[in-house]
Amino acid sequence: MNTILIVDDNENIRKLVDIYLKREGFNTFHAGDGEEALDVIDRHKIDLIVLDIMMPIMDGYELTKELRDSGYIIPILMVTAKDTYPDKKQGFDLGIDDYITKPIDMEELVLRVKALLRRARIYEDKKLYVNDIVLDYDSLEVITPTQEISLPKKEFYLLYKLLSFPKKIFTRQDLLDDIWGYDAEVDERTVDVHIKRLREKFKDFDQFEIVTVRGLGYKGVY
């Protein structure tokens, strides 16, 4: 059972988030500011933090920086009333994993918490399980009940990315930036070529599919 730390100086918000998370079977701890949160983290195993930005004593930005500078990789879902690009960029630059804006849609918050926890598990063991196949990040292999298929590095990373976030649409530029890097001297056609190769190699598989979303990009479905 995962344990979530809710960090917000508004007690009513903490209680509301607590109700929704406990309905889903999560354990919870509360903190009213960053310093209280650090104390909780020192004393308990925390699997994810739901973190407000604007708080007294130590705000959400400061807490995130403190945790990342200290080597903590706990997923952080930041709750913010600030939805401008500079505010989001500051949070991501400091090390948050996702954000949700106020007023909080509690159902969406629960979905984001579950998604972040799933991603954290993928990161820890570097294996992605899709129906009866396994994508092994270390060996660059797709392992099925009957065979092991080795892929070139970029093809594997591309497939792993798409299947790690099922049904999420990635633009070609998203995939280029994440897999080839911001400074790579390649264009969006490179993504199309790699997608074509993957489709050819896995055309007889029914465990997953790479879907083209016209005018947007690609998504993995299973």
Is residue 192 predicted with pLDDT exceeding 80?
Answer: yes
What DSSP element (H or E) covers 125?
Answer: helix 106-125
Answer whether 0.85 is exceeded by the pTM.
Answer: no
- What is the spatial distance between Cα 150 and Cα 140, in angstroms, rounded to a whole number? 6
- What is the spatial distance between Cα 161 and Cα 170, in angstroms, rounded to a whole number? 9
pLDDT computed for residue 77 by the predictor? 96
Residues 5, 49 contacting (CB under 8 angstroms): yes
CATH classification code of 126-221:
1.10.10.10
- What is the spatial distance between Cα 218 and Cα 220, in angstroms, rounded to a whole number? 7
> Mind listing the pLDDT tens digit for each residue in 109-134?
999 999 888 877 766 667 888 888 99
Question: Quick one: average pLDDT of 32-55?
Answer: 93
Is there a shared CATH topology between the 3-124 domain and the 126-221 domain? no
pLDDT computed for residue 123 by the predictor? 62
> Mind listing the pLDDT tens digit for each residue in 21-31?
999 999 999 99
10: nearest Cα among 81, 64, 83 = 81
Identify the band that residue 162 occupies on the pLDDT scale cut at 50, 70 and 90. very high
Most confident range, picked from 121-125, 127-131, 174-178, 210-214: 210-214
Helix (H, G, I), strand (E, B) or coil at 188: coil
50: nearest Cα among 14, 88, 11, 10 = 14
Sketch the domain layout of the chain as residue ranges: 3-124, 126-221
Structure-token pair, residue 125: 């063991």
Is CATH 2.102.10.10 the right assignment for the domain spanning 3-124?
no
